Structure 1
């Protein structure tokens, strides 16, 4: 699909000054098992019109069909509780800047949240067939049979109940797109679309909002945009000086995306613009905005300290990026040195020399939740996701302390509760993913066991302070489990042995496995085994 370009005379018109605050409401669940994973149908988002254009701002409205969907309102999904809860956070640490988000300045708001019925029995019922729920990542190099998958991502359509297309990125720079629909034991593996955007390991892969393009970031210091229909690279994004760790599409502007790397840079790209240079090829793009030393320490003057010199320490990596759904110009990032999140204002501003200024950091987390435990030093964030439905307005971070910490999106303040498992260990390759319904999280794991884990986060804001909520363990193969992602009705996990395994809730099969484990082990893997 060709990528549209804007007029060279207005290369950065996408970044106007605008503020659009929306407060998403809670999203309930029905009693059917599949509905717990199904998310609301996603329509292509459009940025509200600018006030200067004289247009009226519009809020997204839920249609009657969506209200009657499996994730629609269901009073039976609640326990009886009419208490009003006050979400209290410590004041945000704000940096000196000309403009602040009004959402971050407002005081804590009293909200009424009734606790959801526990979905623990559903998580415990997840099973995976050894015959029909396994996909192998074939190597493209001579001398090896399988390639370790580093990351995976379901399409937006798959998360809304459509065809479950899964993109799997490997250590060899290959991307496989496979249909993970449920099949019979005797059915062959599905037909796979294969393309090669990189010749180095791919650490993150994301679909654009229309499911027509894939963004991949790699150890070759590049990000690339691939057309799903042709499998060809349509844009090469150059700007990083180190391994690119994460990528995130702007949900309200389909041509914009951001990348973060081990060089400490955050790069913002606009696929409609970019300077084409003949010596680098006609498809090369350069970032329209960059944030250097994004997670370095801040000095007394409010400026970040950039490592310089031959003996300077390694830059602090950018490990996660998510766009705030409360303000379309706010980008939240995480780093590898501590559990502090930072929020950046992406609206363009120019100095007297007409040079574009670096986006300012509006505010950051007031406290580091990785230091909440006694005698604990700061530990970095490995993967970052945002909540939806009942967890809308929250962010979840998988940290190097082997815990998942919860943050408020508007203030970036950390809640006292966390999620962990006695066998959960982390490394650079482990990912965190949120289910479409917003009630569950899944993460990979490293170490001897090499398991994946699932957590119920429906009551993330009601857990006891400083309490660690345990999860459900999924054992499948040897080696580390890295990439994970959810679709409607299933979870995919990637393993170092070159296998991708699918998990689905099935109470009857799980009970049979628990009753006769030795007999069923040949055919099934199951939660808690």
Structure 2
């Protein structure tokens, strides 16, 4: 999928300021990013941009040259979300349609040309309720991940009505897909609200404030 370099630069310049007028936005350069649709992007630094895709990978690009800097593998389905540890350009988290959360550190050595997770949480948003078991696999998608600090990671999904907090000091098993991991804390949409809409309820995105104390979530 083509990525508009100029749009990225405009977005970077406008962070913390009013939106850039459409009349001031022109296409200067574009480059090929992924072979399938892009689901999420995140700034790694002023020059590096991370993009997730339906091709099951996450790629970090140099927006000045369009070069691929790092390729991240570790998901078995589309990668739906990405974030970086706010004070680091090396530590990232991704969430996928496979309900897996992966943690990466760019300082680790690559294997076969790609970075692989240093830690993973399988079945992060698969509920044990009968309602969830009967749902389609795409309702398990991890729609957003957000670091609070180096030890705590928030995640949400599109249909399990829960915001979860994971303690990254704990080793969760990636291979044991029959076990539902237990988060450090969990915040749920009230059951009466879920019943009133007569369908699975979830979250589409979430962000923390600059002090890393208040979490905003779309549901």
Same fold (TM over 0.5): yes
| Structure 2 match to 1:512 | none
What is the DSSP-based 3-state SS (H/G/I as helix, E as strand, rest coil) of the residue aligned with 2:159?
coil
| Structure 2 match to 1:340 | 162
User: 1:35-65 deviations in whole A, cap 9, x for unaligned?
Assistant: xxxxxxxxxxxxxxxxxxxxxxxxxxxxxxx
User: Are the aligned partners of 1:345 and 1:359 in contact in 2 as well (CA < 8 Å)?
Assistant: no
CA distance in 2: counterparts of 1:219 and 1:247, whole angstroms? 13
Gaps of 5+ in 2: 174-179
CA distance in 2: counterparts of 1:258 and 1:374, whole angstroms? 32
Structure 1 pair 346–359 and aligned structure 2 pair: CA distance change class (3 A): farther
Choose which of 272, 282, 293 in structure 1 pairs with 2:123: 293
What is the DSSP-based 3-state SS (H/G/I as helix, E as strand, rest coil) of the residue aligned with 2:29?
strand
Matched, 1:314 2:143: no
CA distance in 1: counterparts of 2:119 and 2:158, whole angstroms? 22
| Structure 2 match to 1:446 | none
CA distance in 2: counterparts of 1:212 and 1:330, whole angstroms? 26
Matched, 1:201 2:37: yes
1:228 Cα shift?
1.9
User: Are the aligned partners of 2:57 and 2:72 in contact in 1 as well (CA < 8 Å)?
Assistant: yes
Q: Which has the higher strand share?
A: 2
User: 1:296-320 deviations in whole A, cap 9, x for unaligned?
Assistant: 1259xxxxxxx8xxx9952611011
Structure 1 pair 369–395 and aligned structure 2 pair: CA distance change class (3 A): farther
Structure 1 pair 350–274 and aligned structure 2 pair: CA distance change class (3 A): farther
CA distance in 2: counterparts of 1:312 and 1:396, whole angstroms? 26
CA distance in 2: counterparts of 1:241 and 1:255, whole angstroms? 23
Matched, 1:323 2:158: no
What is the DSSP-based 3-state SS (H/G/I as helix, E as strand, rest coil) of the residue aligned with 1:296?
coil
CA distance in 2: counterparts of 1:336 and 1:387, whole angstroms? 22
What is the DSSP-based 3-state SS (H/G/I as helix, E as strand, rest coil) of the residue aligned with 1:361?
coil
Structure 1 pair 262–386 and aligned structure 2 pair: CA distance change class (3 A): same
| Structure 2 match to 1:430 | none
1:384 Cα shift?
1.8
CA distance in 2: counterparts of 1:218 and 1:350, whole angstroms? 25
Choose which of 24, 28, 39 in structure 2 pairs with 1:192: 28
Choose which of 50, 73, 81 in structure 2 pairs with 1:238: 73
1:347 Cα shift?
2.2
User: Are the aligned partners of 1:264 and 1:294 in contact in 2 as well (CA < 8 Å)?
Assistant: yes
Gaps of 5+ in 1: 1-138, 141-146, 165-179, 300-306, 352-357, 400-529
| Structure 2 match to 1:221 | 56
Structure 1 pair 372–313 and aligned structure 2 pair: CA distance change class (3 A): closer
Aligned residues: CA RMSD: 3.6
Give 1 or 2 for the bigger CA radius of gyration: 1
1:331 Cα shift?
0.5
CA distance in 2: counterparts of 1:312 and 1:338, whole angstroms? 10
Normalised by the length of structure 1, the TM-score is 0.34
| Structure 1 match to 2:218 | 398
1:235 Cα shift?
1.1
What is the DSSP-based 3-state SS (H/G/I as helix, E as strand, rest coil) of the residue aligned with 1:372?
helix
1:336 Cα shift?
1.6
Structure 1 pair 371–220 and aligned structure 2 pair: CA distance change class (3 A): farther
Structure 1 pair 373–259 and aligned structure 2 pair: CA distance change class (3 A): closer
User: Are the aligned partners of 2:56 and 2:73 in contact in 1 as well (CA < 8 Å)?
Assistant: yes
1:333 Cα shift?
0.2
| Structure 2 match to 1:87 | none
Report matched runs for 1:127-526 at 5 Å.
154-155=11-12, 158-161=14-17, 181-182=20-21, 189-208=25-44, 210-277=45-112, 282=113, 284-297=114-127, 314=137, 316-324=140-148, 327-347=149-169, 361-365=183-187, 367-369=188-190, 371-372=192-193, 375-377=196-198, 378-388=200-210, 393-399=213-219
What is the DSSP-based 3-state SS (H/G/I as helix, E as strand, rest coil) of the residue aligned with 2:14?
helix
User: 1:342-393 deviations in whole A, cap 9, x for unaligned?
Assistant: 0011126599xxxxxx98621101x41474377344412122222357xx63
Q: How many residues align?
A: 205
Greater RCO structure (CA 8 Å; 6+ sep): 1
Normalised by the length of structure 2, the TM-score is 0.77
User: 1:207-264 deviations in whole A, cap 9, x for unaligned?
Assistant: 11x3121110011111111112221111111111111111111102220111111111
What is the DSSP-based 3-state SS (H/G/I as helix, E as strand, rest coil) of the residue aligned with 1:225?
strand
What is the DSSP-based 3-state SS (H/G/I as helix, E as strand, rest coil) of the residue aligned with 2:46?
coil
1:191 Cα shift?
4.7
| Structure 1 match to 2:177 | none
